[in-house]
Structure 1
Amino acid sequence: MQFEYVLLALLAGRPLSGYDLRKWVETEGQFLRSRAHHSQIYRLLGRMVADGWVAFEVDPREGRPDAKVYRLTPVGREALMEWVRSPYQPPSRFQDADFMSRFAFAAALDREAAIRLTRTELDHRRAQIARNRPRDRTVRFEDPLPELDQALAREVYEELHRYGTSAVDAWVAWLEHMLQRLEQWQPEPQALPAGEESAS
């Protein structure tokens, strides 16, 4: 997952300071990316400014250091939408950070892109289950270390398999649920500006 796209997606909602972005990374963002250091955020913001993806205004703060408030530029908007709509290649591990971050932001930016993303992930996981569920899981040992408890090792492997099976099944069920929600979603009617009346 390229983290600059997550920052762009956050700025799609409203202008934010580097501090605001850092606080998001420390709270909600921790579930998308582990160990993101605040210095990385400021480095990425600097690069995004240089690339023309974001611009900033200085917000004077009385008694505190001034804050740079970042907003998307048209070039940044284009880069963000290109990421949202780009092809997705599912990795072997499900609930990958790339899928989660794309899904979290793509749905509100481009529902059709989110539907394609979800279908791709769902098809891949169903095929993965069909290939791997019936495989031979026999654990064999040959000249093992004397410390190795073979019966316990087999028990642990089997429990990990059971957990993995239930987790991926729950993931597939959630994907099916979200795909249905996305396909059936009806946008709310846009409110008329103050002073305008409906033609009906």
Structure 2
Amino acid sequence: MSLAHALLTSLLEQPSSGYDLARRFDKSIGHFWQATHQQIYRELGRMEKAGWIQSGPDPEAGRTRKRTYAVLPAGRDELMRWAAEAAPLTELRDEFLVRLRADAVVGPLGLLPELERRRALHADKLRAYRAIEARDFAPEAEPTRRRRIHHLILKAGIQYEQGWIGWYDEALHTLSED
């Protein structure tokens, strides 16, 4: 996936200024695809040159140079082309797992504090996802297709964090046995 496709998706949801887009990105897509605000602005420039989006002065910006971006038909076509491609399976690549393997080979390396720290980070993220779920996906809300898909994406994050927390619990138990 490229940042451009994430931005096209977000702009199709709502045309925005670069600043507003970056803020919305941080609160939604940014949970599973990270980008700095600088990267977002650079990509918006490339997308505009490619003819995928256009920008114009923001009518509410007053005297500032704030611009609003919107997706052009070519941008929608690109997003549809990309979405139709087979997505590669993300490979697990975690430096800490290599450290754990080294612990198995050379003996205890004092990894328990790092295991506890990493477990706590996953627990924090899980709490954040649960808060989003409680705030945005109340059972009484109308279950539109869009809402159900957004909830499905959030559930992937919830299950991801739950899986890592369970793994860290097992790892902490295993390393504590020695």
TM-score (structure 1 length as normaliser): 0.46
Gaps of 5+ in 1: 95-136, 164-184, 189-200
Q: How many Å separate the matches in 2 of 1:187 and 1:22?
A: 25
Relative distance call for 1:66 and 1:60 in structure 2 (3 A) is farther
* Residues 1-200 of structure 1 aligned to structure 2 (within 5 Å): 1-34=1-34, 36-61=35-60, 63-93=62-92, 141=105, 144=106, 148-149=107-108
**Amino acid aligned to 1:84:** A
**Amino acid aligned to 1:149:** P
Cα distance, 1:64 vs. partner?
A: 4.9
> Aligned with 2:33: secondary structure?
coil
**Amino acid aligned to 1:19:** Y
Q: How many Å separate the matches in 2 of 1:186 and 1:30?
A: 23
Q: Which has the larger radius of gyration?
A: 1
> Aligned with 2:57: secondary structure?
strand
Between Structure 1 and Structure 2, the one with more helix by share is 2
**Amino acid aligned to 1:10:** S
- Which residue of the partner structure matches residue 154 of structure 2? none
Cα distance, 1:53 vs. partner?
A: 0.4
Relative distance call for 1:11 and 1:51 in structure 2 (3 A) is same
Cα distance, 1:48 vs. partner?
A: 0.4
Cα distance, 1:66 vs. partner?
A: 3.4
Cα distance, 1:49 vs. partner?
A: 0.6
**Amino acid aligned to 2:108:** D
**Amino acid aligned to 2:89:** P
- Which residue of the partner structure matches residue 127 of structure 1? none
> Aligned with 2:86: secondary structure?
coil
Relative distance call for 1:187 and 1:37 in structure 2 (3 A) is closer
- Which residue of the partner structure matches residue 175 of structure 1? none
Gaps of 5+ in 2: 94-100, 120-142, 147-178
RMSD over aligned CA atoms reads 3.3
Relative distance call for 1:59 and 1:86 in structure 2 (3 A) is same
Relative distance call for 1:93 and 1:19 in structure 2 (3 A) is same
Q: How many Å separate the matches in 2 of 1:68 and 1:140?
A: 55
Identity %: 31
Q: How many Å separate the matches in 2 of 1:3 and 1:78?
A: 16
TM-score (structure 2 length as normaliser): 0.51
> Aligned with 2:51: secondary structure?
coil
Contact 1:60/1:66, CA 8 A, preserved across alignment: no
